[in-house]
Structure 1
Amino acid sequence: MAAFTEIRPHVVVIPFPAQGHINPLLKLAKLLHSRGFYITFVNTEYNHHRLTRSQGPGWATAGLDGFRFETIPDGLPPPSDKNSTQDVPALCASTRATCLAPFRDLMARLSRAADVPPVTGIVSDGAMGFTVDEDFGVPVLLFFTHSACGCWSYCHIGELVRRGYTPLKDESFLTNGYLDTPIDWIVGLENIRLRDLPVLRPDHRLRRRNAEHYGEECRA
């Protein structure tokens, strides 16, 4: 059994399984590691396999001491193309519905492991809110990978719905000038238009689905 003469803080980092979320959380994990933290970085099995094919079979174990990778399933059937980008709305629904149980199992396994320090905290992507659905006995910090303005916009999705700005009634509202409607009541985001909000872009149905989830996490 390994013994630790000096216990390092051990943070479990779990991004939403999309490139724009993995990259910033990986950078944050590396910064924490450079400050002495032990890191367990949690990818989905699908993305871990993609990285292994791209980087080579030893990529996850090469290099940094005290920086390890673990995987959990995303709950989706594997696509026919092993390198295809997964459907983001399906990922949003699947991670919320299926990822808590395997993440719970991973946390239990880490707590029993003799070769790693005890977990002292979790840094979770804001889109992986299932990490706050259960008490893991350590602090959980939600990290939002988009900009501060984007995060603040998502936090107001509920008010946008209550005031009738969204959902858009039909596709014509994307081109009939409605998106130029001024919004002057979000503190810190004065003098903007509807089209400036990330929750109201041409792919508004997907973004509204994500925004409702982000809004729930902001309110929590």
Structure 2
Amino acid sequence: MEELQKKQPHAIIISYPLQGHVIPTVHLAMKLASKGFTITFVNVESTHHKICKAQPHAAAGDDLFAGARESGLDIRYVTVSDGLPLEFDRSINLNEVLEAYLHLFPAMVDELVGKIVRTADPALNCLIADTFYAWQSTIANKYKLVHVSFWTEPALVFTLYYYLEFLRSNGHFASSQGNRKDAIDYIPGVESIQPTDLMSYLQDTDTSTTFHQIIFKAFDGVKRADFILCNTVHELESETILALNQKQPTFAIGPIFPSGFTKSIVPTSLWSKSDCTQWLSTKPTGSVLYVSFGSLVNVSKETIMELAHGLWLSGVSFIWVLRQDIVSSVETFSLPVGFEEGVKDKGLIVTWCSQIDVISHPSIGVLTHCGWNSVLESVWCTVPLLCFPLHTDQFTNRKLVVDYWRIGINLCDEKSITRREVAEKINRLMNEKSADELRNEIKKVKRILGNALISSSWILKS
């Protein structure tokens, strides 16, 4: 790092091709550039095309960081193939895509980084890549680059993956006799946690999947990183961060938001957005529930039906983000007969929207899948959370939200939900007294986030 500080810092940043990863990675690039870094931002070609398609008046050849450069930031932009044809349908061939990221993509990145190393001015001296990329330590070593692993989720989630061999050896993960059900109390920096609070991949009984192989390789490779950056806040996860620092230099640099918590000048959405602000402005403060389950995970038809009936029974006004592929990329779904007519004065259903615009409005509560970006953004906007995790880190994020910070309500502990349970929990969330109690706790967490935004500036600058 001392050698890097003596030179003009030039970092190549490589984003993981999922919405929840692209957003904080773009904002990290912007923050580093604002501190004097030259940045070469690498986007996966298929992700670039999807972002361009989602923007009005955008073209496939557009430079997504053109606006950032116009504002004075030295950010160069390039794309790289994932090894599959651009026209390949990634939405219905997920396993083939994951295999490509394991076996084809590393060679594509190696070739690109080598070219940039040979031609860059100022010279490239740092590689920052999403932790889930397993190849990064090999490429960083090959080109003699400082290796920074960027983790877009909480330190708690990182730590549980980091010590998955502890979980395995203690029988809580990948046990041939069936995983233990008792509390896990032996992970450094982690309070006692239940197996049901582990990420879904660590609750799975089949660990032979391609994504499990990605996790195993990624968390073997991350142990060779020079530095680990986490999109979290030290004061919220201090024991976990301190324990990680006993193993490797680890820095909490979150929350990574766009400057002023406004719309980013760099487009990051993989979906075309509807404008909900005019509809929202007609609703009283604290009266609208925003329902969103993120950009990737599927929800069963049965769950959609129970959620719809629950919303209807609750009587609250709502905005519901229902992606066209919410059930699957090849299967359609139907809302209950009479639902849209029955809620037409109270409900607005959209396929996607600007979440920041919606949750920053004073009339909002949130029913969320507990994606980490959504959690941090909701805290910043002091919005109460009703938690319904579906996949991966979302179960562990719920643990932080509901049990550690007490800023949200758990929708259910079972994999299936009922409409009456949904209606009851919505009304509890939106009740003035309980909402105020939650907001009081959220304000405490927001103050910590606000202080972290100031201190993270110093970390990134140094």
With the length of structure 2 as denominator, give the TM-score of the two structures. Answer: 0.40
The one-letter code of the counterpart of 2:82 is D
Local SS of the residue matching 2:135: helix
Q: Return the alpha-carbon distance in structure 1 between the equivalents of residues 97 and 154 of structure 2.
A: 21
Q: Which amino acid aligns with 2:35?
A: R
* Counterpart residue number, 1:3: none
Aligned in 2, Cα 1:79/1:219: closer, same or farther, shift over 3 Å?
Answer: same
Aligned counterparts of 2:98 and 2:223: Cα–Cα separation in 1 = 18
Question: Which residue among 147, 157, 166 is the counterpart of 2:164?
Answer: 157
Shift in Å at residue 184 of structure 1?
1.2
Deviation per residue, 1:118-176 (Å, 9 max, x gap): 21211011111212113112211111112100000001111222222222669xx7xxx
**Residue number in structure 1 paired with 2:66:** 62
| CA distance in 2: counterparts of 1:16 and 1:137, whole angstroms | 22
Contact kept, 8 Å, 1:15 with 1:128, in 2: the verdict is no
In structure 2, distance between residues paired with 1:91 and 1:158: 26
Cα distance in 2 between the residues matched to 1:187 and 1:111: 38
CA offsets 1:70-129 (integer angstroms, 9 cap, x no match): 1111123556658x4872x54443222112222122123223436x42212110111112
Task: Name the SS of the counterpart of 2:220 in structure 1.
Answer: helix
Gaps of 5+ in 1: 1-6
Q: Distance in 2 between matches of 1:85 and 1:10?
A: 37
Amino acid aligned to 1:166: F
Aligned-partner SS, 2:27: helix
Residue 185 of structure 1, CA deviation: 1.0
Q: Give 1:4's aligned residue.
A: none
> Which residue identity does 1:191 align to in structure 2?
S
Q: Distance in 2 between matches of 1:15 and 1:168?
A: 33
Name the structure 2 match of 1:215. Answer: 219
Q: Distance in 1 between matches of 2:205 and 2:93?
A: 16
Q: Which residue of 1 is the match for residue 39 of structure 2?
A: 39
Q: Is the 8 A contact 1:76 1:94 kept in 2?
A: yes
In the other structure, the counterpart of 1:24 is 24
1:10/1:39 contact within 8 Å kept: yes
1:147 pairs, out of 151, 154, 170, with 154
**Distance in 1 (alpha carbons) for counterparts of 2:47 and 2:37:** 24
In the alignment, is the contact (CA less than 8 A) between 2:172 and 2:181 conserved in 1?
Answer: no
Q: Which has the higher contact order (CA 8 A, sep 6+)?
A: 1
| 1: CA distance, partners of 2:123 / 2:163 | 37
Residue identity over aligned pairs, in percent, reads: 26
Match of 2:191 in 1: 190
Q: What is the root-mean-square deviation of aligned Cα atoms in Å?
A: 2.8
Aligned length: 205
After superposition, residues 118-137 of structure 1 pair within 5 angstroms as: 118-134=123-139, 135-137=142-144
Do the aligned partners of residues 14 and 179 (structure 1) sit closer, same or farther apart at CA in structure 2, a change above 3 Å counting?
same
1:46–1:73: 8 Å Cα contact kept in structure 2? yes
Alignment of 1:169-208 (within 5 A): 180-198=181-199, 199-201=201-203, 205=207, 208=212
When normalised by structure 1's length, the TM-score is 0.79
Q: Which has the larger radius of gyration?
A: 2
User: In 1, distance between residues paired with 2:77 and 2:117?
Assistant: 16
Aligned with residue 71 of structure 1, among 73, 79, 86: 79
Q: Which residue of structure 1 aligns with residue 101 of structure 2?
A: 95
Shift of 1:49: 1.0
Letter in 2 for 1:27: H
Pair 1:90–1:144, CA change in 2 (3 A)? farther
Q: Which runs of 5+ in 2 are unaligned?
A: 1-6, 225-462
Distance 1:13-1:164 versus aligned 2 partners, 3 A rule: same
Alignment partners' CA distance in 2, 1:179 and 1:77: 43
Deviation at 1:43, TM superposition (A): 1.0
